[in-house]
Amino acid sequence: MRVIITGASSGIGTALARYYLHAGVTLGLIARRIEPLRQLAETAAGRVETYAADVRDTAAMQTAAAHFIARHGSPDIVIANAGISVGTMTQIAEDIAAFQDVMDTNVVGMVKTFQPFLGAMRDARRGALVGIASVAGYRGLPGAAAYSASKAAAISYLESLRVELSGSGLRVVTICPGYIETPMTVKNPYPMPFIMSADMAARKIAAIIESGNSFAVTPWQMAVVARLLRIVPNWLFDLALRGAPHKPRRGE
C-alpha cells in the first residue's frame, strides 16, 4: 500500500506516518520542515520518500507528486492533513495576512495536495482522497474566524469533490477531529473536552479511512457535540459563546 501524508512533520501527521510505517506501508511525507520527515524515514529506509514542500506552492506539490508516482506508482491514499490555526480579529489590519495564510493553507493547500495525484489515481480507478477538516467548521467559533471559515470551506470542498468523483473508483473521505493533543492546541486558553492523543487520533483516522465511510467526526463524543452545534439556534449559540476566550493571535 502507498500513502501520502501532508503535514507529517508534527502532531497528527507524524502520528499517522508512524501508524502507517508500523503497518508496512510505503509513504510519501510532505511538510516544510524536512528534518522531522528524515527522522521518520530513517526508521524504514527505502519505504519513505520525504519532500520539503509548502502545500501553498503548486509547482513544489506537483514536483513531489510526480517524483513519488514515478518511483512507486499511484497512491492508494492521499491525506491532506497540513493545516494552521491562528486567532484573527477583523478590526486588526495585520490579521488580514494571517487570515489569508489560514485560507491558503487549509483550503487551497488541500486542492494543491490532491490535484497532482488525481490523474494517476483516476487512471488506476482506485484510491482515497482524505481531507482533515475539523468540528470547528460546523459553526463560526469566536476568535477563530479564519480557522472556522477554512474548515467549513474544506468540508464543502470535499463534498463537491466526492460527488464529482462518484463512479470514478475513487473515494473522498472527510474527517472532522475534535480536540487533539498537538503543538496546534498546546496554547489554547480554554477547556478542550474529550481531547485525545495524536496517536489515538491517528488510529481512529486510519480506521475511518479503512471503514469506507465518506464522513466522520472523531471521537464519538465530539460527533454528538457536532450534531448539537448544527441544530442549536443562533440565540443560544451566541449566549453560550459570548465572551469565550479566543485562539491566540500571532505573537500572543
In the complex, the residues that contact ligand NAP under the rule CB under 6 A are 6-13, 31-33, 54-56, 81-85, 105, 109, 132, 134, 177, 179-180, 182-185
Residue 197 CB neighbours (<10 A): 12
Closer residue to ligand NAP in complex, CB, 8/121: 8
Closer residue to ligand NAP in complex, CB, 88/134: 134
147 is an active site residue: yes
Closest separation between CB of residue 226 and ligand NAP, Å?
11
Evaluate whether 80 touches 161 at the Cβ level (below 8 Å): no
Helix ranges restricted to H, the chain? 11-22, 35-42, 58-72, 95-103, 109-124, 145-164, 198-211, 220-231, 234-241
Smallest Cα–Cα separation from 217: which of 107, 129, 135, 106? Answer: 135
Closer residue to ligand NAP in complex, CB, 127/137: 137
Closer residue to ligand NAP in complex, CB, 122/215: 215
Tell whether the torsion through CA atoms of 112, 212, 161 and 136 is positive or negative: negative
Q: Which of 19, 51, 138, 147 is catalytic?
A: 147
Closest separation between CB of residue 189 and ligand NAP, Å?
14
Closest separation between CB of residue 71 and ligand NAP, Å?
21
Closest separation between CB of residue 133 and ligand NAP, Å?
7
In angstroms, what CA-CA distances link 122 with 28, 67, 119, 208, 215? 19, 18, 5, 22, 21
Smallest Cα–Cα separation from 184: which of 113, 54, 82, 101? Answer: 82
Catalytic positions, written as ranges: 147
